[in-house]
Structure 1
Amino acid sequence: MNLFVFGLGYTARHFAERERARFATVRATVTEEARAEAIAAETGFAMRAFGPDTDDDRIAGDLADTDLLLVSAPPGREGDTVLARHREAIAESRIGWIGYLSTIGVYGDQNGGWIDESVAALPKSGRSKGRLEAEEGWLALGAETGKAVQVFRLSGIYGPGRSPITKLREGKSQRIVKEGQVFNRIHVADIATTLAASIARPRAGAIYNVTDDEPTPPQTVIEHAAALTGLPLPPVVDFETAELSPMARSFYGENKRVRNRLIRDELGVQLAFPTYREGLAGLLDDAKG
């Protein structure tokens, strides 16, 4: 089987590298030519440049020789760039499985309530609205072509080099407190497990929440990371006065508890890191944190 990845970022790269043995070839995109060359040297993947101002002319041929397509590239201001440029090539290809990586942000604010995939998506931010529109575009492509398109709505992603431990070690952590706020998280390894399970059991039109078992206040996770590492706790910062990017502030504007039962019941996924406690313990001895 040949894999093509639009947007070889943190999550998609982890999946492609972990599952490399199952693929005859891996082709993937990043936005800059220089970065594509660097990643090709590191991984052996056939890398292409694809972004707002780039579109490698080999991509159409690559898609014709692809069996599995993973889409991790975010939509742009004018919608999903992959669909806008390569919809026809994908529709005419032999690709049988398509995975689209989305976000639980499409559910919007649920006032801290428990939700699953049956809850209607009501995104608040422009970023999440764009993700929902992209989801709909990919699902429509699947319905029209008979290809098995699956949407994976991801919680806050962490793993090696991208965790509360990393931030503590780098002195970049904040303990932001907002009354009643909780977040779900998901370890990058458990995302890879879910994608592999879906490839083994494709279901056209499926939408899955890919998330851990325990939505938790963010400061609690940081406190646990500090206790594990022996590093000092960062001071408490009130949400109202915290220095946050507009994206981060909008993230705190949504509060929900997300269930993951469907990936367990339908795909047979058993999370290696069902809560932040197992996840952080697994990262403690990792040089990247």
Structure 2
Amino acid sequence: MYTPNRGEQFFEINGARLCVETFGDPADPPVLLVAGASASMLWWDAALCELIAAQGRYVIRHDHRDTGRSTSYPPGEPGYSYTDLVLDVLGIQDVLGIERAHLVCQSMFGGIGLVAGMDHPGRVASLTLVSTSTGEPGLPSPTSEFADSMPAEPDLAHLVSVVDHVVGAVRACAGGSPYFDEDATRALAERDVARARDYASTLANHYAIAADAPSRDRFGDIVAPTLVVHGDHDPLLPLPHGEALRDAIPGARLLVLKGAGHDLPRPVWDLFVRALVRHTAPGRP
């Protein structure tokens, strides 16, 4: 039976204090949502988490290091590597008593799911990779419109400037999607900036971590059932990135979200949730 979320909890994991929130019944199949770079748990909208949980899934979201209420490091000096972020996710599974979780990983941190799938296959029930890439040479660069529309660096001393920067970056990542909602994005950005321990670290540190990212040569070793989700308006990682990821992982399937950019806008939630629920169904081959 569905139960409401239990609020934020803090756990000491892998040398860091991580903020975690859960939704739904712990007896249901666990779905662990991993946000992209510089994104706290808030960017997996609570209403979306509730929607997934209502379909019989135990949903977990967390603040990465340097986002939200989790451990923060000085700007430009992250005290962790990409591998640490993978171990953080597995550590969350440990403290919640979850042996195998369905990992849903977004953007740059799709690599967390890829590493987990390659190096820790016994901990991964399935992978869902949203707006991510193999990173192989020859794939399209970000569009010129994306580059031209990215905002300048904010004045970190002024809250309004930081919020404007975040809204501008999300608008650019929407790639002209008709689904971009500026008012909702601004409200979320205001909450996110106010909630963070140090937003200067949030903006900088994930891009400064040690580059021990997954090896493209090993994608064929992934045995977890994999769903690739990609918007056809994505200007940062255009659709061929998702197609390449589908082709690189044995048996992977691709869901193209018409009208979506690099994010998961509310109008595509129903389609995304239906696909995710099918993908994570108990007993699925």
Task: Place the TM-score, normalised by the shorter chain, in its bin.
Answer: 0.3 to 0.5
Length-normalised TM-score, structure 2: 0.36
Length-normalised TM-score, structure 1: 0.35
